[in-house]
Structure 1
Amino acid sequence: MLRDALKGLTVLDFTQIAAGPTCSMLLADMGARVIKVEPPSGDLGRLLGPAWVGNDSALYHGFNRGKQGLCLDLKQPEAVAVVERLVLEADILIESMRPGVMERLGLGHARLAELNPALVYCSISAYGQQGPYAQRAGVDGILQADSGLMSLIGLPDAPPCKVQAPVVDVVTGYMACMSILAKLRARQQDGQGGHLDVSLMNSALALQQSSINSFLHDGQRPVPIGSAAPYAAPNEAFRTADGWIMVAAYNGNRWQQLCAVLGQAQWVNDPRFATSALRVEHRAAMQAALNGVFGQQPTAHWLERLQAADILCANVANYDDLLEHPQLAANGLLATVEHPRHGRLRSVGFPVNSAEAACEPYLPAPDLGEHTRSVLRSFEFSEARIDALLASGAAR
């Protein structure tokens, strides 16, 4: 099972908010022991609400399930010494501080590789560890803007718009996880770890492969066109009598079938609509024609008829619709976590073989420093030393 594929691996997680926590959560979902190391002020993601679960944000709980919580003040040498001890038995370290911060703390890759040459050390930053922007901080929205992604989103002549879900953060977390797994595979051959440089900027660019590749080829700057695809038509949302329907019927056969279902056989021979490329060129006229017909009936009416004709379509769902989606239950992707203080919490679960994954219970996100004492005990710290660390404020 994927959910126990990484059992026996230990991860030290020095990340906050979403990108790094996504990576470490995936590793925890696959069975790794993830020790989330937080400063006394806690992960900044705890403060990003609404919505709230107790005093912490739902975002924090959604990105940190299955981890153990260790609280250290890395400005104190005693806390740095604790990390050095943990690194001796760790397989993976993930950090998302600004480049150079871990080095100044004495916890950079070069130093820790001396202690444990097999350590896979993954740095996640806004722009990367090198280059003129390396010292710039950045979050999801900033990188959506700076990478050009925001220029693709929204409608012409409207204010800039971004994807509300932190897509750059999340895909960066997946990129980091993929890179770590690849480095672990390489380590099986040579026994050596290494330093991985994963950035939000590169991940944001990877999200835009189709648009950037097109621009590199023809120099035509893409413009926002709402729900439509710039390379095919119809491949967009149309207004129905009670909502919206997304339709992808751009190849020859499906366009003909769509015209038949809509009772508009004459469109097949319309020179403006003869090919997908022509429909892209004459998109405004095509949209006006299709909206005029789709608007006569509710979404359910059209879904039934289009699906019967094997035309790709979907209701443009809101989150209330999503919770009623029959495939959501079939895939087992909506995870339930039993929290000792907050009861049953729901979140998106591990997305691969999710029905299988749902059979394994998820552990809740840790409270700040919840497992500090038990984690230190597991690394053979004496009770006296643990008490001293807690008393000094180096640990909490």
Structure 2
Amino acid sequence: MAGPLAGVTVLDFTRVLAGPWCTLALADLGAEVIKIENPKGGDDTRRFDVREELAGESAYFVFANRNKKSLALNIAAPEGQAVARRIAARADVLVENFRPGVMARLGLDFESLREANPGLVYCSISGYGHASPLREVAGYDPVAQAEGGMMAITGEADGGPLRTGISYADIFSGYNALQGILAALYHRERTGEGQSIDIALLDGAVASLANQAQVTLITGRDTGRYGNDHPFLEPFGLAETADGPLYLVIGNDRQWERFCRDVIGRPDLVDHPHFRDNAARLANRERNRALLAEIFAADTRAGWMAKFRAAGVPAGAVRSISEALAAPEVRARGMVQAVDHPRAGRFEAVASPVHLSATPTAAPVAAPTLGQHTDEVLAAFGYDAEEIARFRTDGVAA
């Protein structure tokens, strides 16, 4: 069955992560994503985390660019710009993450392209947005995390600010771009009108502060860092078992009672004055943690997780990445699938997390080699073999 965006053509001028994360989702949903890459090296991430296990291909690039086509096109050359404009005239969506002003200098900005294609949905992703006093400043995920407040609330209470282990400002911005594009396509479906979308990494970082931002706006005070603890709930956090940590979440007194009776076998703690309700447990957090540490050390992680599951009390084993990818519940959802790459051969890759009943997402296809689809794409947009050969000779395409 075709995906929900089958028939939608996306012209992708993005590099690194925020933009490619957006176009990755569009490709997973069935859109034809044509990734425009510089013939001299392509996306910068082709040189990130190069692996012998992938025959010299980049693990970073292959994860963010599955299900896409690569057109190696020199858009600095006038003929390359003309090719891009021809494709844009028939495209449904264009996504770019250059600094503001770059696409205008190339004649590939929204205002220039909408004349030939008034239904075009044009999404720009940048560090600070096109309507910003810092519009000319390049954007990077760690900077957005720092300036957007994310680092200030990440880390241990007695430690310094920390960057998250994954580039979440980029990823949130990619999802924000996806949301804007889908909304714009829905608007176009009703009106025929395209529009431009302006996404900033800093906006995504600020929006992701969620309730923490609201508390600060109401009180005028900054929230602190809590590490693995919770400011309002106890017990909540890491517990060391005999062979590794797990994370427990006791969200209310009913769960506390089941935890005491059915998980740790200590019904005497249910009504203990130090632990009988959440307020008492918070006031006696250190005493509570010391008691639980002794209890959890008596069994393995798997043993405790079996008791948590049976009791219906929320907890999870703290897994390594390899453990998470191998977990039966992850495999059962089809989240890891094999792909065949023209150079690296067969390897496993993460698939889309979206499951649709009538219009399923695309099975993962390995990320393309640089210029793998150049001839195919140019031919589809009306260029004959002689013209394509000349483009290659002249350095316009590769």
SS in structure 1 of the partner of residue 115 of structure 2: helix
Q: What letter corresponds to residue 11 of structure 1 in structure 2?
A: V
Q: Is the 8 A contact 2:50 2:57 kept in 1?
A: no
Distance 1:244 1:355 in 2: 37
- What percentage of aligned pairs have identical amino acids? 36
Q: Is the 8 A contact 1:332 1:355 kept in 2?
A: no
From the superposition, tell whether residues 272 and 98 of structure 1 become closer, same or farther in structure 2 (CA, over 3 Å).
Answer: farther
Q: Is the 8 A contact 1:376 1:386 kept in 2?
A: yes
Provide TM-score, normalisation by structure 2: 0.93
Aligned residues: 395
From the superposition, tell whether residues 357 and 22 of structure 1 become closer, same or farther in structure 2 (CA, over 3 Å).
Answer: farther
Please show how residues 1-396 of structure 1 align to structure 2 within 5 Å: 4-40=3-39, 41-49=41-49, 51=51, 53-260=54-261, 261-353=263-355, 361-396=363-398
From the superposition, tell whether residues 188 and 219 of structure 1 become closer, same or farther in structure 2 (CA, over 3 Å).
Answer: same
Q: Which moved more, 1:386-395 or 1:107-116?
A: 386-395
Distance 1:234 1:61 in 2: 40
Q: What letter corresponds to residue 64 of structure 2 in structure 1?
A: F
From the superposition, tell whether residues 211 and 276 of structure 1 become closer, same or farther in structure 2 (CA, over 3 Å).
Answer: farther
Per-residue displacement from partner, 1:240-278 (whole Å, max 9, x unpaired)? 121111111120111122222324444333444343345
Q: What letter corresponds to residue 306 of structure 2 in structure 1?
A: E
- 1:357 deviates by 8.8
Q: Which moved more, 1:279-288 or 1:111-120?
A: 279-288
SS in structure 2 of the partner of residue 155 of structure 1: coil
SS in structure 2 of the partner of residue 12 of structure 1: strand
SS in structure 1 of the partner of residue 33 of structure 2: strand
- 1:349 deviates by 0.5
Q: Is the 8 A contact 2:28 2:362 kept in 1?
A: no
From the superposition, tell whether residues 359 and 147 of structure 1 become closer, same or farther in structure 2 (CA, over 3 Å).
Answer: closer
Per-residue displacement from partner, 1:52-73 (whole Å, max 9, x unpaired)? 6333311100111111111112
From the superposition, tell whether residues 38 and 255 of structure 1 become closer, same or farther in structure 2 (CA, over 3 Å).
Answer: same
Q: What letter corresponds to residue 97 of structure 1 in structure 2?
A: F
SS in structure 1 of the partner of residue 270 of structure 2: helix
SS in structure 2 of the partner of residue 225 of structure 1: coil
Q: Is the 8 A contact 2:352 2:361 kept in 1?
A: no
- Any stretches of 5+ residues in structure 2 without a counterpart? none
Distance 1:186 1:354 in 2: 22
Q: Is the 8 A contact 1:48 1:59 kept in 2?
A: yes
Distance 1:227 1:77 in 2: 54
From the superposition, tell whether residues 51 and 308 of structure 1 become closer, same or farther in structure 2 (CA, over 3 Å).
Answer: same
Distance 1:205 1:51 in 2: 35
SS in structure 1 of the partner of residue 229 of structure 2: coil
- 1:37 deviates by 0.1
Runs of 4+ in 1 over 6 A off after TM superposition: 354-359
Provide TM-score, normalisation by structure 1: 0.93
- Any stretches of 5+ residues in structure 1 without a counterpart? none
